[in-house]
Amino acid sequence: MPEHTDLTVLLRSLRGVWDEVAVDELDHALQSAARALDDGADDELVLAAALHDIAHSPLLPAGPAHDVLARDWLTPRYGERVGWLAGAHVAAKRYLAATCADYRLSATSEHSLRLQGGAAVDPAFVNHPWWPDALRLRRYDDAAKQPGAAAVSVAEVLALARRVHTARESGRGRAP
């Protein structure tokens, strides 16, 4: 199916892309999904965790903010919830930085937080019905920066994407 061929190519294009210092973007994606599975997340949340930084692929346009591009790329393919959750990972970081005294970020995320406007509680974020899951995703994201940590495989992400796609086709995707 072409959608999944696209996803395979995009995921593999993250190998050797270094946004963080400790892991490349493919390992970051695969570790994020593993942390979500460890937490008992549902398929859509695991998929959003895996693909929240897909916009760092050199195959996607460089212009838009990476959270916005993730949302816009994912929503038509895997549904509104996957797109929203992935797109909310910056708003979730800003929220946690504003409200959790013990919230710690990597040096890279600390730097990007400043560029993204700093710590803040966005009313549009905290009033959204899915925002608790966006906070869960952000915790997976922050934990997925350890060289050699447990990770899922690319094949597992693709199988997950197929399940989400199939559930959506059959009308079982979640409404907001």
Q: Tell me which residues touch Fe ion (CB under 5 A).
A: 53, 141
Minimum Å gap between C-beta 78 and Fe ion is 17
CA–CA gap between residue 129 and residue 112 (Å, rounded): 26
Classify each residue of 132-156 as buried b or exposed e, where b means 16 or more C-beta atoms within 10 Å of its C-beta. ebbbbbbbbbbbbbeeeeebbebeb
Instruction: Tell the smallest beta-carbon distance from residue 62 to Fe ion (Å).
Output: 17
Nearest residue (CB) to Fe ion, 43 versus 141: 141
Number of H helices, E strands in the chain: 10, 0
Of 31 and 77, the one with the shorter C-beta distance to Fe ion is: 31
12/166 with CB nearer Fe ion: 12
We find the least distance from the C-beta atom of residue 113 to Fe ion, in angstroms, to be 12
Q: Give me 111's structure tokens.
A: 């730097």
Q: Which runs of E-coded beta strand occur in the chain? A: none
Residue at shortest CB range from Fe ion? 141
For Fe ion, which is the closer residue by CB, 43 or 67? Answer: 67
Residue 167 CB, nearest approach to Fe ion (Å): 25
